[in-house]
Amino acid sequence: MKAFSQMIFIVCFINGVILLAQNNYPQNYFRNPLHIPIQLAANFGAVRTNHFHMGLDIRTNSQENLSVVAAADGYVSRIKIERYGFGNAIYITHPNGYTTVYAHLNSFFDGLDQYVKERQYKDEKWEQDMVLSPKQFPVSKGQLIALSGNTGGSAGPHLHFEIRDTKTEECINPLLFGFDVPDRISPIISGMYWYDRRFSTYEPGANGITVKKVGNMYTTNLIQISSPTISFGIKAIDKANQGFNLGIYEAKLFMDGQLKYGFKIDKVSYEDIRYLNGCIDYTKFVQDKMSIQHLSTLPGMKLEHYSTGSDGIINFQDNEIHNIEIVLTDVNGNTSRLVTKVQFTKILFKF
Ligand SMILES: [Zn+2]
């Protein structure tokens, strides 16, 4: 029994090491910016109107004025005060090459609050975007920097938290830094769609395929298709252990065991934010508030660090039945599989 539990431990340990070894981001360098356990209301890469969500929305027990602390040593490098967007926000630059951002705050710590008010008074301007030098407001890990709130474009009290590469300003998925966010729930697939790629994906648009769950696997009936050139889309959500709907971290599409297309949301730069509309079925999103994510590259799509494999366009060369597998994985490695078969049914004319 002891040997068995030791073996289990070793297997889990190796799995953990493999998972950690998959990214180069410092693990556990940053602490939870709140004094309560992290519960997510939204994750990195969640689909929003015209953009990806660029950080974590951390729940604050539906309250305002919770203590927000510096995630690591560093200095206050920027303060933003705006009516919409981030509301009141603090940026802290850390010596390890990353900057953390805390938004929708109610107020800043004493000295900083005073400094900001003086600047607003001097400029006779309430909205501010100020850059600060390293000597002005150094902070240490765990130091109180602000009180949480609901300022700016926020629909309820929460803390919006981002981690950026200081040099490139790319936003990185904070969950890759080893925060403790318990999650044993696999992504949930609710729909599959195919698109006739002889035409634009907007017109004639998505063809629905009914998805059913059998055991712990998803499947559909045999998908019979009349176009020789198609692509697929998927409608799915993820959940952590609490009930909020989160965005999908990673998806892969295989045909006959070969990777046709994959996406993974590790990092996104603010310059590329608009390419979100090339990752989803924009028509369905606008008309039905439904987010179907394409498992193919759309024309003009230039989002870096997003897709792997080829372009996801399937060109049928025969009328055989082909195996399709879609694999969705969250940051904690929980995986869901959709396994089905597809067949092109029109007669192929060969010259
Ligand atoms: Zn947010």
User: DSSP assignment, residue 151?
Assistant: -
Q: How far is the CA of 180 from the centre of ligand 1 (A)?
A: 19
What are the backbone dihedrals phi and psi of residue 319, each rounded to the nearest 5 degrees, phi first? Answer: -110, 20
Q: How far is the CA of 154 from the centre of ligand 1 (A)?
A: 8
Burial 222-248 (b: 16+ CB within 10 A, else e): ebebebeebbbbbbbbbbbebebebbb
Dist CA 71 CA 139 (whole Å): 10
Q: How far is the CA of 148 from the centre of ligand 1 (A)?
A: 13
Ordered domains of the chain (ranges, CATH): 40-177 (2.70.70.10), 188-344 (no CATH)
pLDDT at residue 310, as a whole number: 87
Among candidate residues 56, 55, 47, the one with its CA nearest the CA of residue 290: 47
Q: How far is the CA of 47 from the centre of ligand 1 (A)?
A: 11
Distances (CA, A) of 143 to 69, 88, 276: 5, 18, 36
pLDDT at residue 38, as a whole number: 96
pLDDT at residue 22, as a whole number: 59
pLDDT at residue 300, as a whole number: 79
The rounded mean pLDDT for the chain is: 91
Q: How far is the CA of 34 from the centre of ligand 1 (A)?
A: 15
- pLDDT > 90 in the chain, percent: 76
The count of residues in the chain is 351
Dist CA 174 CA 55 (whole Å): 7
Tens digit of each residue's pLDDT (9 = 90 or more) over 138-165? 999 999 999 999 999 999 999 999 999 9
Does the pLDDT at position 15 exceed 80? no
Q: How far is the CA of 161 from the centre of ligand 1 (A)?
A: 7
Dist CA 226 CA 314 (whole Å): 13
Burial 130-168 (b: 16+ CB within 10 A, else e): bebeeeebebeeeeebbbbbbbbebeebbbbbbbbebee
Dist CA 166 CA 146 (whole Å): 21
Tens digit of each residue's pLDDT (9 = 90 or more) over 56-112? 999 999 999 999 999 999 999 999 999 999 999 999 999 999 999 999 999 999 999
Q: How far is the CA of 56 from the centre of ligand 1 (A)?
A: 6
Tens digit of each residue's pLDDT (9 = 90 or more) over 249-260? 999 999 999 999
Cβ-proximal residues to 204 (8 Å cutoff; 6+ apart), any chain: 196
Strand (E) or helix (H) holding 119: helix 110-123
- Cβ-count burial of 123 within 10 angstroms (0-12 exposed, 13-18 middle, 19+ buried)? exposed
Q: How far is the CA of 89 from the centre of ligand 1 (A)?
A: 12
Q: Is the peptide bond before 204 cis (omega within 30 degrees of 0)?
A: yes
Say what the ipTM of the complex is. 0.97
Tens digit of each residue's pLDDT (9 = 90 or more) over 176-197? 999 999 999 999 999 999 999 9
Among candidate residues 62, 107, 67, the one with its CA nearest the CA of residue 89: 107
Dist CA 68 CA 109 (whole Å): 10
Cβ-proximal residues to 212 (8 Å cutoff; 6+ apart), any chain: 218, 219, 220
Q: How far is the CA of 58 from the centre of ligand 1 (A)?
A: 8
Dist CA 280 CA 289 (whole Å): 11
